[in-house]
Amino acid sequence: MSLPTADEVFAKAAEGSPFSNGTEGYAWMANNCHRCVHDKPARNDDYENACPIILVAYTGKTPAEWLRKDEFRLGDQYTCLYFRDEDDGGPGEPTPIPDPPGQEGLFPRDEFERPARMFADTRPQEVAVRG
């Protein structure tokens, strides 16, 4: 999933700062941005290629890519749709679910697919059967 440009993020962002004070902002960035592959260039002083989402947050707007949580603790008030941990060994881009073999799609799927993260553990799990 490729990052949107700063102009795209800015156009969709809500008015108002995402954090009520600097402590909230620093705590959230330490838990998210400072571990994300998209902000690694900024940590290496390459600000031209830094994450555009956090750059928009610095302007005092709340990015639409950050989903606010109802109940949260310090440093955990948003979920960034583009967050990817540097230690994540997964593929760089998510792959769409393929159409079944021999079946054509009824309509293009591109406009209906959106960047998202799956929060549920989808690995098979063993369960005990009561008899």
φ, ψ dihedrals at 114, nearest 5°: -130, 155
Would residue 56 count as lying in a domain?
Answer: yes
Give me the mean pLDDT over the 39-56 stretch: 90
Give me the mean pLDDT over the 62-88 stretch: 88
pTM of the shown model:
0.63
Would residue 89 count as lying in a domain?
Answer: no
> What is the predicted pLDDT for the residue at 65?
93
Would residue 87 count as lying in a domain?
Answer: no
Mean of the per-residue pLDDT values of the chain = 81
CA atoms of 17 and 27, how far apart (whole Å): 15
CA within 13 Å, CB half, 114: 4
CA atoms of 80 and 120, how far apart (whole Å): 16
Boundaries of domain holding 40: 6-80
Would residue 20 count as lying in a domain?
Answer: yes
Overall domain count for the chain: 1
Q: pLDDT tens, 9-28? A: 999 999 999 998 999 999 99
Give me the mean pLDDT over the 27-52 stretch: 90
Smallest CA-to-CA distance from 1 within 93, 100, 110 is with 93
CA atoms of 91 and 47, how far apart (whole Å): 25
Using 50, 70 and 90 to split pLDDT, how confident is the model at 102? confident
Residue type, position 83, single letter: F
Using 50, 70 and 90 to split pLDDT, how confident is the model at 70? confident
Q: What one-character DSSP code corresponds to residue 14?
A: E
Would residue 121 count as lying in a domain?
Answer: no
Would residue 50 count as lying in a domain?
Answer: yes
Would residue 25 count as lying in a domain?
Answer: yes
Would residue 42 count as lying in a domain?
Answer: yes
